[in-house]
Structure 1
């Protein structure tokens, strides 16, 4: 489990690393694009502002010149209204506009005209005759004598500059919208990265911690398992000798007491060792042929808890022939009754009238039979002897000897 957690963490690390790399790359690209766009837009906007300022400065200069000229014009008009014959000493300059010869004679006639001042103040400057304009052509042809054109050019240039500025501002808005979208993608990727990292790391750390606790808790069990594995490996090596002695025990030492049984086992072990047959030095019939679960069931069904009784139980159940049990304390009888009750045990005696028929039917049906009181006072006749000497599949015939009379 711990190894699996390590594998999961190792598998997640490249994903998180790649995600982090992608987000960092997106951040760098976003920063570069944003800086580049801002730089270009700022340059264009600065250029447009400079152009607009220059144009506005020209317009302001023109307006300032106009503002400065207006008082002079007004003063001239006022002075013109206040003119009299004594104030005018030179009139040639206006002779052309009044369609007179620019000579002294014409000037005197002009000055002698009683309507001279009125003609000056009421002069129709908007309807000057062509021939007079022709005389004024040299002044009109002067490139600097075009105030309307100059003003119009300045306004047109200002309009173009402002249109360019608006276009740049529009592009700036589009770029800012793109930057906003990229920023949202960046925020989403960052949140996804954080969620993925925190969630996966948290889950894996929890699993890893729990697995570590489990491994620590099972540390002592691991020692036991390793010892058990070593023991099982040794038992596999010794299986030939152990099974050989176990078979000998089932076949021969059922009639012996505990002391003589151990003597037989010791001699058999020594003989096997002399013949280089692998065998356990601490041989135990219970460990070789016994099943702890089955033995616990036997004890729950009434089998005595001593070692000899447990070995006898193994001999009764593992032997290929029916067992003859010497049972003065009736312990084996009670155990067999309890053990085989669920299998429909038939209990009979040699003195029963239908004993032989019951025995034959039970054997043919595979039902266990307990034959009681087999001893010196009740010996088997020839028919019974023939039946019980036959090989019985399932080992379901038990002969119970209640007592022996000796001497």
Structure 2
């Protein structure tokens, strides 16, 4: 018991550092390639005096979760596993750069038990579908997002206003009730999307572009 208590105390001492590493990874590295992720993580571990064996996947997800993701069609390479972890942990709207569409297909399967709507940003009824999803707390997957429509900005920034006990958000010319269960995910097959700086600040770009290392992992 004494040894276990000492071990737990040691883990508690470094827990803030591990949380900082994980937050940095989710916030800044999801858009990067595998080699850049590894390079930055190694530098950060040295700066924080964290064991180089620290595995962020084991810290932010369990083996059983990863097995479920694989069974749902997610590629088994390290990049895809890290990306799934980011998508499900990020506080900002995930923006999936997914040339093969495999990650998008996985996301649809993973969220199938929720009220999921899948639409293209170019659809004629896009704004109407968006309004309904926000009002009724649906989960929205928006595909083919090469450039983010202005109508999405207030939602992605969470520009909410209070009206009594309710929260509302402006969508186009309308003021819509905002359901806290609403979730939105953006995806593109374009491997090099051009996001404006103000958009980069309100979405979390998640890079699924396949590399040689990723193909080996799959």
Please, what TM-score do these two structures have when normalized by structure 1? 0.39
- Displacement of 1:344 in angstroms is 2.0
- Displacement of 1:356 in angstroms is 1.0
Give the match for residue 185 of structure 2. 398
- Displacement of 1:369 in angstroms is 0.6
Equivalents in 1 of 2:15, 2:43: separation in Å? 18
In the alignment of these two chains, the number of paired residues is 174
Give the match for residue 82 of structure 2. 311
Alignment of 1:310-349 (within 5 A): 310-349=81-120
Alignment of 1:187-202 (within 5 A): none
**Partner residue of 1:284 out of 55, 59, 68:** 55
Deviations 1:209-246 (CA, angstroms, capped at 9, x unpaired):
xxxxxxxxxxxxxxxx9998876554323211111111
> Would the aligned equivalents of 1:372 and 1:401 in 2 still touch at CA under 8 Å?
yes
Give the match for residue 144 of structure 2. 373
> Would the aligned equivalents of 2:98 and 2:104 in 1 still touch at CA under 8 Å?
yes
Q: 1:355 to 1:304 in 2, by over 3 A?
A: same
- Runs of 4+ aligned residues of structure 1 deviating over 4 Å after TM superposition are 225-233, 391-395
Give the match for residue 196 of structure 2. none
Please, what TM-score do these two structures have when normalized by structure 2? 0.71
Equivalents in 2 of 1:323, 1:405: separation in Å? 16
Deviations 1:242-284 (CA, angstroms, capped at 9, x unpaired):
11111110110001111111111111112113xxxxx333221
> Would the aligned equivalents of 2:74 and 2:106 in 1 still touch at CA under 8 Å?
yes
Structure with more relative contact order (C-alpha pairs < 8 Å, separation 6 or more) = 2
Alignment of 1:124-273 (within 5 A): 232-273=8-49
Alignment of 1:26-45 (within 5 A): none
Unaligned runs of 5+ in 2: 160-177, 194-218
- Higher radius of gyration, 1 or 2: 1
Q: 1:228 to 1:345 in 2, by over 3 A?
A: farther
Q: 1:404 to 1:293 in 2, by over 3 A?
A: closer
Deviations 1:130-167 (CA, angstroms, capped at 9, x unpaired):
xxxxxxxxxxxxxxxxxxxxxxxxxxxxxxxxxxxxxx
Greater helix proportion:
1
